[in-house]
């Protein structure tokens, strides 16, 4: 698809960009960022009035390239962003990975002045402020954000559809499972106030049957994390429950985990005031305020009839509160044009 459109000098040019990684996207579940990639791909198909370039991201069988001139020749730089904050926490990312990606970032900084940057935000910490203060602090750029939570039920409701299209629920072997990472520190290295690392450590040390996928503070993971969601989902199918957290101060927001969980028939328990406005949370039964709350509910759900009854109610609320794939494609197009045409 990278070669799908003919370049026309009279058209505005949009460059879809990955700085910290190189990704090739041809179908869903190839990446944890696939909801964002999907709506970008649909946008290109439906909007031939723009030129398209690509930096570190491919929508075809070809491997992505990183040619700085492609950014220099573009008017709008669209950055699907879900883990940039990690590169600004000391020792959070392997030194060799950080060094290589910082070299790419420095190259981008050399050619990005005068551009309009559109961040597709998929983590509270990957904010406009992060990009202004830490990613492009000395550049003359305009930065906008399209937030995953600007969509009904969250943009990552798309993952529910993608997983359902390819996978069937499996046997439930584990009382509790978690995939991702702890967020003990914030940008700069200070403590974030997020205590999920403490809660997860208690669960790991408990008598519950658990499985942990990712990187954690205070204990060793069971399975290495991979960006390919299609390789993680078979593990998720074995979980009865998981727990959804938010960064401190962002209680009203949703996260991708809730959608991924329900697609795998996992009951998403939530920590304290997560989704405080109950966009997706079905009842206060899902809310947990201590390790003891989590343990009690996990033990309760060992009764299969109880588990299925809770799952039925939670999924009913979810389906009433989210939309079909076409809604997210159209809503993204509207938001993109709102920035470009302003």
Look up the CATH number of the domain holding residue 173: 3.40.50.2000
Q: Please, which residues bridge with residue 287 across strands? A: 270
Q: Are 282 and 317 spatial neighbours (Cβ–Cβ below 8 Å)?
A: yes
Q: What is the pLDDT of residue 247?
A: 86
Q: In CATH, what number is assigned to the domain containing residue 24?
A: 3.40.50
24 lies in the same domain as 72: yes
Task: Examine residue 3 and state whether it is found in any structural domain, yes or no.
Answer: no
d(CA 70, CA 206): 52
CB of 86 closer than 8 Å to CB of 92:
yes
- Do 214 and 78 share a structural domain? no
Label residues 193-203 b or e (16+ Cβ within 10 Å = b): ebebbebbbbb
In a domain, 139, yes or no: yes
Side-by-side strand order, sheet with 174-181: 210-215, 174-181, 239-244, 267-271, 287-288
**Same domain flag for 75 and 129:** yes
> Is 135 in the same domain as 278?
no
In the chain, the number of structural domains is 2
What is the rounded radius of gyration, in angstroms, for the C-alpha atoms of the chain? 20
111 neighbors 73 (Cβ within 8 angstroms): no
Domain extent for 282: 158-321
pLDDT value for 2: 54
Q: Do 132 and 172 have their domain in common?
A: no
Chain centroid to Cα 38, Å, comes to 13
Within a domain: 172: yes
Bridge partners for 215 per DSSP: 181
Query: Do 147 and 236 have their domain in common?
Result: no
Other CB atoms within 10 A of residue 254 CB:
25
User: Looking at the structure, do residues 289 and 310 belong to the same domain, yes or no?
Assistant: yes
In a domain, 198, yes or no: yes
Does 8 map to a domain? Answer: no
pLDDT, tens digit only, all 342 positions of the chain: 555 555 667 799 999 999 999 999 999 999 889 999 999 999 999 999 999 999 999 998 889 999 999 999 999 999 999 989 999 999 888 899 999 999 999 999 999 999 999 999 998 999 999 999 999 999 999 999 999 999 999 999 999 999 999 998 878 999 999 998 888 888 888 888 888 999 999 999 999 999 999 989 889 999 998 888 999 999 999 999 999 999 888 899 999 999 999 999 999 999 999 999 999 999 999 999 999 999 999 999 999 999 999 999 999 999 999 999 999 999 999 999 999 988
Is 7 part of a structural domain of the chain?
A: no
- Is 2 part of a structural domain of the chain? no
The answer to whether residues 134 and 269 belong to one domain is no
Let me know whether 136 and 186 are in one domain: no
The answer to whether residues 313 and 328 belong to one domain is no
- pLDDT at residue number 182: 84
Question: What span, in angstroms and rounded, lies between the C-alpha atoms of 268 and 291?
Answer: 15
* Whether residue 275 is found in the same domain as residue 142: no
Give, to the nearest 10 degrees, the angle between helix 34-46 and helix 325-340: 70
Q: Do 244 and 314 contact (CB within 8 A), yes or no?
A: no
**Does 297 lie in the same domain as 264?**
yes
For residue 1, being part of any structural domain is answered with no
């Amino acid at each position: 698809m990278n070669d799908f459109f003919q370049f026309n000098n009279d058209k505005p040019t949009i460059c879809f960009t990955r700085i910290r990684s190189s990704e090739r996207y041809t179908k869903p579940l190839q990446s944890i960022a696939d909801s964002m990639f999907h709506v970008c791909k649909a946008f290109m198909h439906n909007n031939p009035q723009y030129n398209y370039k690509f930096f570190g991201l491919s929508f075809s069988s070809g491997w992505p390239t990183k040619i700085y001139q492609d950014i220099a020749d573009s008017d709008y730089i669209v950055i699907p962003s879900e883990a940039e904050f990690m590169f600004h926490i000391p020792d959070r990312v392997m030194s060799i990975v950080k060094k290589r990606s910082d070299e790419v970032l420095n190259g981008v900084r050399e050619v990005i002045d005068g551009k309009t940057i559109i961040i597709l935000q998929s983590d509270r910490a990957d904010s406009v402020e992060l990009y202004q203060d830490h990613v492009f602090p000395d550049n003359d750029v305009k930065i906008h954000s399209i937030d995953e939570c600007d969509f009904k039920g969250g943009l990552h409701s798309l993952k529910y559809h993608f997983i359902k299209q390819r996978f069937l629920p499996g046997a439930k072997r584990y009382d509790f499972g978690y995939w991702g990472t702890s967020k003990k520190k914030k940008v700069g290295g200070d403590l974030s106030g997020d205590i999920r690392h403490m809660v997860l450590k208690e669960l790991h040390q408990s008598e519950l049957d658990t499985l942990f996928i990712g990187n954690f503070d205070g204990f060793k993971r069971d399975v290495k994390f991979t960006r390919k969601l299609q390789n993680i989902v078979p593990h998720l199918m074995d979980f009865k429950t998981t727990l959804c957290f938010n960064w401190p101060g962002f209680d009203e927001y949703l996260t991708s985990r809730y959608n991924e969980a329900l697609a795998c028939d996992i009951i998403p328990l939530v920590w304290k005031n997560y989704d405080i406005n109950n966009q997706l949370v079905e009842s206060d039964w899902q809310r947990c305020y201590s390790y003891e709350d989590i343990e009690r509910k996990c033990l309760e759900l060992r009764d299969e009839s109880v588990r299925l009854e809770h799952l039925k109610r939670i999924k009913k609320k979810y389906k009433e509160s989210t939309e079909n794939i076409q809604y997210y494609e159209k809503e993204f197009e509207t938001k993109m044009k709102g920035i470009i045409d302003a």
